[in-house]
Structure 1
C-alpha cells in the first residue's frame, strides 16, 4: 500500500485538502487499490479556514516518514493562522525529511510557501498563488525558488501549483506518479473530469 500523508496547518483550505482525500480514496475503492491517505496536524482536531474542523490520524511528532510515499500540503488563509503552523520548525523539518528521501511532495496554492521556507525549493522551479500579481509569488522568489508563470510546476519530486483551480489536476498528477497514467485517467473519468 502506498501511503500519502496530508499535512494540515490550521487555516488550511478545505477544498484543496479534499481533492487529495477524494482522488486517493477513489483509487482505493475503484482504481488499482494501492493508495491510502492519512491526515496529520499539530493537534488531533485541526481547524481550517471558515471554521472547518478535521480530526487527523496522526500528530506531527508521531510521523515516521519511511511509512509514506508522498506528502500533500494544501494551502490556507493567513486570516485563519495558516502560516503560524505552516512555518513552524517541525512542519518545515517534516518537509525536509520527505525531500531527503526523494519522496513526492505536492502542494496547492500557498502550500508551496512552507516548502520553500524549508529550503528544499532553493534554486528549483516552482509556483504559488498568482491572483492580481500576488505578493505570494514574490515571497516564493525571496525564499529561493525560481518562480514559473505556469499553473502547475514539477521540479523533480516536487509539485507546486498556483490556485484552488489547479487542485484536481495536482491530485490526479500525484496519483499518476504513485501508480500509472492509465490508472489516473481511469479515476479522472470515474470522477467525471
Structure 2
C-alpha cells in the first residue's frame, strides 16, 4: 500500500516540478474520499536549499526519513552531478521495491544512481538526447509523457509529472481515488503515458475546441461502437483528416484514446459497483468480458477480477 511519500529537495530544484509532487501527494483529500499520505520533504543537509529560480526553501528533515518510504520522488533540478547521498537514497528505494518517480530532469539523478540501467525512461524532450548519450544503458523515449518500468517512473516536463504521479496513485489505490485527486487539481485523470509530449503543428482554437467536443461526446457514449467514420462526421471532417488531426491535437490515435477511456471507466465500475464482468464490458464498449480481460492484462498487467478484488476492498475500507 502506498502510504509514505518522500520528496527529495536537491539543490537547484525547479519550483514547478517540486510543486507538482507536493500537490498530488502532500495534501489531505480524505474529506472527499481521496488519500492522505505521510508526506515529507527531505534534503541532505537540512536548512536552506537554493531553487533554480535563485531563492531558498527551508527544508527541516534529513535523508534518514526516506529509509522506509513507499515512494521516493525526484523533481527537476540542475543537470550538474548530484550529491552521492541522494543517489544512495534512490538506490536503496529501488532495491527494496519501493516506487521511484522523477519529473523532467529528475531522471538524470535516477540515471546517476544506476536505477535506469536496463530500463525504459523518458525526460523533457529537450534533455532526452543528452540523457541517452550520458547513460546508454537506458532506453530513452523522447516522445512520451511518462514511462513506468518495474516501479521506476520517469516523466517528461512540467504537467507530465502530474500524469505520472496520478498513474502511480491509480495503480496503487485505484481509478476512483486518482480521479478524486485529479478533480481537486482540475486536471484530466486519463492522460496515458504513451501520448506525445508536444505537438509539432498546434491547431487553431476552433479546431481544438471541436476535438474537445468530440472527446466529450465519446466519453458519454463509451458503450457504443465508435468507428472513426462516425467520429469524423461529428467533427465535420473526412475520416483520414480526422484521424490525422486527432493525433496531432490529442497526442494519440482515436482508437488508443478511446481504449484507454474504456479501461478507466471499467476500473471505476469494478471498484464502485457489483455489476458482472459481462455487464461492465458491455457498458464500457468492450462488448464481452473476454475482450475486456485482454485489454486489462495488456495495459494494467492484471485481470478485471483481480483488479476488483484489490480495489473494491480499498475503496470500501
Q: Normalized against structure 1, the TM-score is what?
A: 0.85
Query: Are 2:27 and 2:36, in contact at CA under 8 Å, matched by a contact in 1?
Result: no
More helix by share: 2
* Cα drift, residue 140 of structure 1: 5.2
Aligned equivalent of 2:158: 164
Tell me the secondary structure at the aligned position of residue 106 of structure 1: strand
The answer (yes or no) to whether the contact 2:128–2:140 under 8 Å persists in 1 is: no
Residue in 2 aligned with 1:36? 38
- Residue 52 of structure 1 corresponds to 55
Is residue 104 of structure 1 aligned with residue 107 of structure 2? no
Q: Distance in 2 between matches of 1:109 and 1:140?
A: 16
Larger Rg: 2
Structure 1: segments with no counterpart, 5+ residues:
none
Q: Which one of the candidate residues 140, 143, 149 is aligned to 1:147?
A: 140
- Residues 87-111 of structure 1, C-alpha deviations (whole Å, 9 max, x = no match): 2221111101000111000011110
Choose which of 89, 107, 120 in structure 1 pairs with 2:84: 89
Distance apart, 1:170 and its partner CA? 2.0
State whether structure 2 residue 124 is matched by structure 1 residue 129: yes
- Distance in 2, matches of 1:116 and 1:45, equals 26
Counterpart of 2:167? Answer: 173
State the secondary structure of the residue aligned to 1:153.
strand
Which gives a bigger RCO, structure 1 or 2 (Cα 8 Å, sep 6+)?
1
SS at structure 1 position matched to 2:73: strand
SS of corresponding position for 2:159: helix
Does residue 11 in structure 1 map to residue 12 in structure 2?
yes
Are 1:11 and 1:48, in contact at CA under 8 Å, matched by a contact in 2? yes
Contact 1:5–1:72 under 8 Å retained in 2: yes
Structure 1 outlier segments of 4+, above 6 Å: none
**Contact 1:5 1:38 (8 Å CA) reproduced:** yes
Check the 8 A contact 2:101/2:152 in 1, yes or no: yes
Q: Which residue of 2 aligns with 1:71?
A: 72
The runs of 5 or more residues in structure 2 that have no matched partner are 188-317
